[in-house]
Chain A
Amino acid sequence: MIDPDISTADALRLLTVPAIDRPDDPLGMDRRRFLQMMGYGVGAGALMGGLGETIGADLLPGRMREAFATTPVGDHEGILVLLGQFGGSDGLNIVVPYTNPAYYVQHGGIAIPANDVLHLDAKVGLHPSLPYLKSLYDAGQVAVMQGVGYADPDLSHFTSMALWMYGRAGNGTPSTGWIGRWLDGLNGNDPFRAATVGQGLPLHLIGANKRGIAIPQWGVGFGGEPNDAQHKQQQWMYDGMRNFASTSAGRGPWHDSIANTVKGVIDVGQQVAPVFVPALPKTDTDLVKKMKVVARLINANLGMRVIDTGHDGFDNHSSEPAELTEKLVDFDAALQAFFATLLPQYRSRVTIMTYSEFGRTSWSNDSSGTDHGTTNNHFIIGPSVRGGLYGVQPNLAGLKRWDRMVSAVDFRSLYATVLDRWLGGGASTVLGANYEQFDVFRGPPGGVVPSPPTFPAPGAPAGFVPLSPVRILDTRGPLGGHEGAFAAGETWSLPVRGLSGVPADAAAVVVNLTGAGATSDTYLTAWRSGEGMPATSNVNVVTNGAVPNLAVIGVGANGAISLFNSVGSSHVLADLVGYFREGTADTTALTSLVPDRLLDTRGDLGGHPGAFGPGDEFDLQVTGRGGVPASCAAAVLNVTIAGATGDTFLTVWPNGEGQPTTSSVNARPGQTAANLVISKLGADGKIRIRNENGSAHILVDVAGYFVAGTGGRYLPVSPRRVVDTRSGIGAAQARIGGAPLSVQIAGANGLPATGIAAVQINLTAVAPSSDTYLTVYPSGSALPNASNLNLAAGGVRANSVIARVGTDGRILVVCGQGDTDVLVDIVGYFTA
Chain B
Amino acid sequence: MSARVREGVVYVDSVQLAHLLRRTEYVARPSRMAELSLGTVTRSDAIDNILNVTVPVAIPTGIDHDIDGMGYNQWVTAVQWWLDRMVDSPKPMQERMAFFWHGHFCSGWDKVNSAGAMLEQNKLFRDSAFGNFRTMTQTMSIQPAMLFYLDNLDNVKSSPNQNFARELMELFTLGVVDQTGVANYSEDDVSAAAAAWTGHGIDWTTRLYKFWPGDHDVTNKKFMGVTKNWNGPDIIDHILGNPAVVGSSAAKKLVACKFLSKKLWEHFAYEAPSAAIVNALGQVLYDNDMSIKPWVKAMLMRDEFYSASAMQGLVRSPVEYVVNLLYFTGYRGADLNPQWSMEAMGQELFNPPNVAGWKTNGYWINTSVFGARAEFARNATWKLRQNDANQVGKGRTPTQAVDFVATMFGLTSNGLALSTVTRNALINFVTFSRTKESAASWWENTNLLTMMMMTPEFHVA
Contact = CB atoms under 8 A, between A and B. Distances in A.
Interface of A: 1-3, 5, 7-10, 12-13, 16-18, 24-28, 31-32, 35, 38-46, 155-159, 198-201, 213-216, 218, 220-223, 232-234, 236-237, 239-241, 243-244, 246-259, 261-262, 264-265, 268-269, 317-318, 364-367, 369, 371-372, 402
A222 B375 contact: yes
A158 B355 CA distance: 10
Contacts of B375: 221-222
Given A18-B179, A39-B362, A255-B460, A215 B368 contact: yes
Contact of B179 (A26, A38, A198, A246): A26
B151 A369 contact: yes
Contact of A252 (B162, B272, B312): B312
Contacts of A259: 421-422, 456
Given A244-B421, A365-B160, A254 B363 contact: no
A27 B356 contact: no
Interface in B151-172: 151, 154-156, 158-163, 166, 170
A815 B378 CA distance: 53
Contacts of B443: 233, 236
B456 A41 contact: no
Contact of B428 (A7, A27, A234, A243): A243
A56 B356 CA distance: 35
A605 to B, nearest CB: 52
B363 A265 contact: no
Contacts of B360: 8-9
Given A17-B181, A43-B366, 17 more contacts: A41-B364, A155-B166, A199-B369, A214-B367, A234-B447, A237-B451, A240-B447, A248-B421, A255-B419, A258-B315, A261-B367, A261-B370, A318-B151, A364-B159, A365-B159, A366-B159, A371-B162
B228 interface: no
B419 A13 contact: no
Given A1-B355, A8-B359, A269-B371, A214 B366 contact: yes
How many interface residues does chain B have, given as a range? 35 or more
Nearest to B437: A233
Considering residues B159, B278, B424, B450, which has the most beta carbons from chain A within 10 angstroms of its beta carbon?
A: B159
A405 to B, nearest CB: 15
Contacts of B447: 233-234, 236-237, 240
B271 interface: yes
Q: Which 8 A-B pairs have the closest CB atoms?
A: A43-B366, A41-B365, A9-B359, A367-B154, A240-B429, A366-B159, A252-B312, A3-B353
A218 B312 CA distance: 32
Contact of A254 (B154, B313, B428): B313
A237 to B, nearest CB: 4
Contacts of A10: 356, 359
Contacts of A216: 344, 368, 371-372
Contact of A240 (B191, B274, B428): B428
Nearest to A240: B429
Contacts of A3: 353-354
Contacts of B371: 216, 220-223, 265, 269
Nearest to A43: B366
Most buried by B among A27, A220, A239, A317: A27
A233 B433 contact: yes
B61 interface: no
Contacts of B432: 236, 240
B368 A214 contact: yes
Contacts of B437: 233
Nearest to A213: B367
Among B154, B364, B368: residue with most chain A CB under 10 A: B368
Contacts of B457: 251, 255
Given A5-B363, A240-B451, A25 B313 contact: no
Contacts of A248: 421
A200 B180 CA distance: 31
B262 interface: yes
Interface in B411-461: 419-422, 424-426, 428-429, 432-433, 436-437, 443, 447, 450-451, 454-457, 459-460
A233 B422 CA distance: 19
B275 A26 contact: yes
A46 B365 contact: yes
Contact of B180 (A18, A222, A243): A18
Contact of A246 (B180, B361, B421, B433): B421
B281 to A, nearest CB: 12
B426 A240 contact: yes
A293 to B, nearest CB: 12
A26 B180 CA distance: 7
Contacts of B362: 7-8, 35, 38-42, 257
Contacts of A246: 421, 425
B311 to A, nearest CB: 8
B420 A261 contact: no
B319 interface: no
Nearest to B359: A9
Contacts of B308: 252
Nearest to A215: B368
B15 to A, nearest CB: 14
Contacts of A258: 315, 365, 370, 456, 459-460
A198 B154 CA distance: 32
A233 B429 CA distance: 10
A215 B361 CA distance: 19
B421 to A, nearest CB: 5
A157 B163 CA distance: 11
A159 B170 CA distance: 11
A1 B151 CA distance: 12
B460 A41 contact: no
A46 B363 CA distance: 11
A43 B365 contact: yes
Contacts of A367: 151, 154-155, 159, 161
A251 B460 contact: yes
A155 B185 CA distance: 13
B354 A157 contact: yes
Contact of B175 (A16, A35, A223): A16
B176 interface: yes
Interface in B355-409: 355-356, 358-372, 374-375, 378
A369 to B, nearest CB: 7
A317 B161 contact: yes
Nearest to B424: A243
19 contacts: A9-B356, A16-B177, A27-B272, A28-B275, A42-B363, A45-B365, A199-B344, A213-B367, A214-B366, A233-B443, A237-B447, A240-B426, A241-B451, A244-B425, A254-B314, A255-B419, A365-B159, A366-B161, A367-B159
A825 B273 CA distance: 66
Q: Which of B180, B273, B366, B426 has the most CB of A within 10 A?
A: B366
A247 B363 contact: no
Contact of B436 (A39, A236, A364): A236
A249 B456 CA distance: 9
Given A3-B354, A264-B367, A244 B422 contact: yes
A269 B375 CA distance: 12
A42 B366 contact: yes
Contacts of A18: 177, 179-181
Interface string B16-38: 00000000000000000000000
Nearest to A18: B181
A201 B366 contact: yes
B346 interface: yes
A16 B425 CA distance: 41
Contact of B170 (A156, A201, A221): A156
Which of A216, A240, A268 is most buried by chain B, counting CB atoms within 10 A of its CB? A240
Nearest to A253: B312
Interface string B326-353: 0000000000000000001010000001
Given A38-B362, A198-B368, A218 B344 contact: yes
Given A27-B262, A42-B363, A5 B353 contact: yes
